[in-house]
Amino acid sequence: MVRIPDTRRTALIRFSSPLRSTRLTVHLGAALGIAFGVCFVTGLLSHLIQHPPGWFWWPSRPAGLYRFTQGLHVATGLATVPLLGAKLWSVYPRLFTWPPVRGLAHAAERLSVAALAGAALFQVVSGVLNVARWYPPMPFFFTTAHYWVGWLAVGALLVHVGVQLPGLRRAPDGPGRRRVLLAVAAAAGVVTVSTIGQTVRPLAPVSLLAPRRPGTGPQGLPVNRTAAGAGVRDAALDPGYRLTVAGFGRVVELSLADLAALPQHTTVLAIACVEGWSSTGTWTGVRLRDLVALLGADPAACTARVESLQAGGRYRGSDVATPHLADERTLVALRLGGEPLALDHGYPARLIAPNRPGVLQTKWLSRITVRSAR
Ligand SMILES: Nc1nc2c(c(=O)[nH]1)N[C@H]1C(S)=C(S)[C@@H](COP(=O)(O)O)O[C@H]1N2
Ligand SMILES: [Mo]
């Protein structure tokens, strides 16, 4: 590895502004590393919950855990915006050092920095676009790209830290480090306070930058995809509607009146969207495990696939793992806030389960297929 002597390093970094110093860069890097680490782990968790490999197990309690981890994912991701900007500002003069490459090790180092900066920018920009649900600038499938570039960023980050750490033990300081760090911390604070209201209710009024707020929308809950958007209006309003529950060689067809005649339960649970917003509702309906029991099956030994009236689309169905299927708070909800579900919230019936991403809370249910777990 090529070591630049401290004096030269200082000279290179100082470039034009006296505020730049290696120690500032190190401190920004540490803050960025923590935010990035939390963002990566919570993002990985969200991915595993949505695409569970065989070894993965996710409980149904505590009910609000996913709401917390995904809120943290989006909040730490957004906090990296000012941190990343300041960090790039603090080192950008180095991009113009001459000669641009001093040997193989230096070339590898510069390449890893380019990969890191590129990946970090991609994650922040694509994440913000997804929160804003503005997809035209992303000609790829957001979830897959965001997931794999996350791994790329973490890999490049580890290389970067490994390369830089040995030379930073006595990083030279600059005069304005504290002021710059305070300014960056303040900027990160403003970003957090102005967006976290999308999931922390008391801060909703100052949530100027959050595209969605809890408490807005029909029945006081934001809508992710409308019935018209999903193309289910006619099927959902059809008086001949039946919910099919099938498995273990049996098929049960339930009308809305049949469902309403089964024991009703009420539970307070949040929709926690992967996009970072969340909102709490009071749901009433039939326990999923009671429907499974209609088939003569033991809910504690089953999983289920729930499907929507929606004909196509990635989110028309979801899998319910055993902990959620057996949980007494998991409902096929018919009512929200004491009234029949609004059409846009999944009328006539939707799934609502504790500790699950919003994307798995399938609306406009048409069929539940129950299988033995294993
Ligand atoms: N059938 C169906 N169900 C769905 C979706 C969908 O697109 N189709 N979107 C999901 C997503 S991403 C979220 S966040 C929640 C939002 O529920 P709400 O619109 O009632 O707030 O519904 C989920 N259920
Ligand atoms: Mo969502």
Domain parsing of the chain, residue ranges:
6-206, 219-372
**Per-residue model confidence (pLDDT) at position 16:** 65
Would you tell me the crossing angle of helices 6-14 and 22-50 to the nearest 10 degrees? Answer: 80
Top mutation candidate among 70, 308, 315 for ligand 1, by most atoms within 8 Å of CB? 315
Determine whether the shortest distance from the Cβ of 273 to ligand 1 is under 6 A: yes
**Per-residue model confidence (pLDDT) at position 14:** 47
Q: Mean pLDDT, to the nearest integer, of 132-153?
A: 94
Give the residue whose CA is nearest to atom 19 of ligand 1: 223
Determine whether the shortest distance from the Cβ of 363 to ligand 1 is under 6 A: yes
Angle at 134 between CA 132 and CA 138, to 5 degrees: 125
**CB-CB neighbours of 116 under 10 Å:** 21
Question: Residue 142 and residue 104: Cα distance in Å, rounded?
Answer: 35
Q: Mean pLDDT, to the nearest integer, of 54-61?
A: 97
**Per-residue model confidence (pLDDT) at position 3:** 53
Determine whether the shortest distance from the Cβ of 224 to ligand 1 is under 6 A: yes
Q: Mean pLDDT, to the nearest integer, of 267-288?
A: 96
CATH architecture designation of domain 6-206: Up-down Bundle (1.20)
Give the residue whose CA is nearest to atom 24 of ligand 1: 362
The ligand 1 atom nearest the CA atom of 275: 14
Most confident segment among 51-65, 128-142, 206-220: 51-65
Question: Residue 337 and residue 98: Cα distance in Å, rounded?
Answer: 66
**Per-residue model confidence (pLDDT) at position 209:** 77
- Of the candidates 152, 184, 169, 175, the residue with the CA atom closest to the CA atom of residue 79: 184
Which of the two residues, 98 and 29, has the higher pLDDT score? 29
**1-44 pLDDT per residue, tens:** 445 555 455 444 445 678 888 889 999 999 999 999 999 999 99
Q: Average pLDDT, whole number, for the chain?
A: 92
- CA 173 to centroid of ligand 2, rounded, Å: 45
Question: Residue 303 and residue 325: Cα distance in Å, rounded?
Answer: 7
Give the residue whose CA is nearest to atom 6 of ligand 1: 315
pLDDT category, 367, cuts 50, 70, 90?
Answer: very high
Determine whether the shortest distance from the Cβ of 315 to ligand 1 is under 6 A: yes
Question: Which class is domain 219-372?
Answer: alpha beta
Which of the two residues, 170 and 195, has the higher pLDDT score? 195
The ligand 1 atom nearest the CA atom of 217: 21
Top mutation candidate among 363, 367, 368 for ligand 1, by most atoms within 8 Å of CB? 363
Q: Mean pLDDT, to the nearest integer, of 55-59?
A: 97
- CA 139 to centroid of ligand 1, rounded, Å: 22
The ligand 1 atom nearest the CA atom of 273: 14
Pairing of strands 302-308, 317-320: antiparallel
Ligand nearest to the CA of 362: 1
The ligand 1 atom nearest the CA atom of 222: 21
Top mutation candidate among 361, 362, 367 for ligand 1, by most atoms within 8 Å of CB? 361
Residues 6 or more apart in contact with residue 197 via CB below 8 angstroms: 203, 204, 205, 206, 207, 210, 213, 214
Determine whether the shortest distance from the Cβ of 201 to ligand 1 is under 6 A: no
- CA 328 to centroid of ligand 1, rounded, Å: 21
**Per-residue model confidence (pLDDT) at position 1:** 45
Residues above pLDDT 90, as percent of the chain: 73
Q: Please, are residues 345 and 38 in contact by the beta-carbon 8 Å criterion?
A: no
**Per-residue model confidence (pLDDT) at position 216:** 83
**Per-residue model confidence (pLDDT) at position 5:** 52
